Amino acid sequence: MRRKIAAANWKMHKTPTEARDFFAGFKKEIPNIPQTCDVIFFVPALILGAVAEVAAPFAFGPQNIYHEKEGAFTGENSPVVAEVMGCTYTLVGHSERRQLFKEDDALISRKVAFASESRLTPMLCVGETLKERDAGRTNEVISQQLTRGLSEIQAGRPFMIAYEPVWAIGTGKVATPEQAEEAHAFLRSELARVKGGEVAEKTPILYGGSVKPDNAPSLVAQPNIDGFLVGGASLKPQDFAAIVNTLR
Ligand code: PGA
């Protein structure tokens, strides 16, 4: 039985003070790590210090990471520093990184591999655009993102997958449980093909895209949906706590 995962993606939101206030409120609702579910916060790099002071017992990490320890890489996030700050996870290849910052599968693959070697569990994000879905290309697109994104990670290193259809992100348009399950089952079969059945069985595949407390229960009832990557609804302690509570 895979553990469920609730992950927050704060994107470029919250000051250090707002982050501290969030955790004060969230811990009133969820004081400890739930028995059946891990909770992870992906926060802006500039507030990792503030989050590190108050996040325990919950895990946290950056939303993007570079594939070198240090050097002349102006503006990038070092995985070594992230680890020293207490980060245990990182997002890689979020659709906003792919679309706005032109990250491609080759770069994402390097980031996934390097993060995992730095003991940051990468959460690789994949997902099709509406145009790709309408053209019947969903499986082709997400298979390519998955297999290329995982092409350099060493065998045995842990990782997670987040399936986030681009058309559902921040739009209020959530995938139906059937649409999401179809993609998740396909991704799990692709994982089995490229990494073996054991890896496919134990790797969490999260759904993301307009997850809210009211649509979470029907999504997580699907056999291949292991939890959520939540943007907008993770900014309010009560809403995110309500989503965590659907995974208990
Ligand atoms: P959303 O964002 O929940 O606001 O749709 C999800 C994400 O981009 O990770």
Report the predicted TM-score, pTM, of the whole model to 2 decimal places: 0.97
> Candidates 164, 212, 234, 240: which one to mutate for ligand 1, based on the most atoms within 8 Å of Cβ?
164
| Res 23: pLDDT | 98
- Which residues, at least 6 apart from 168, have a Cβ–Cβ distance to it below 8 Å? 174, 175, 208, 209, 210
* Model pLDDT for residues 187-201, shown as the tens digit of each residue: 999 999 999 999 999
Mean of pLDDT over the chain: 97
pLDDT for residue 161 = 98
C-beta neighbour count of 225 within 10 angstroms: 23
Pairing of strands 227-230, 205-208: parallel
User: In this structure, what token pair is assigned to residue 164?
Assistant: 């986030």
Q: d(Cα 169, Cα 165) in Å, to the nearest integer?
A: 7
Residue 1 has pLDDT above 90, yes or no: no
Atom 2 of ligand 1, nearest CA residue:
231
Rounded to the nearest angstrom, the distance between the alpha carbon of 221 and the centre of ligand 1 is 20
The Cα-based distances of 198 to 54, 138, 194 in angstroms read 36, 25, 11
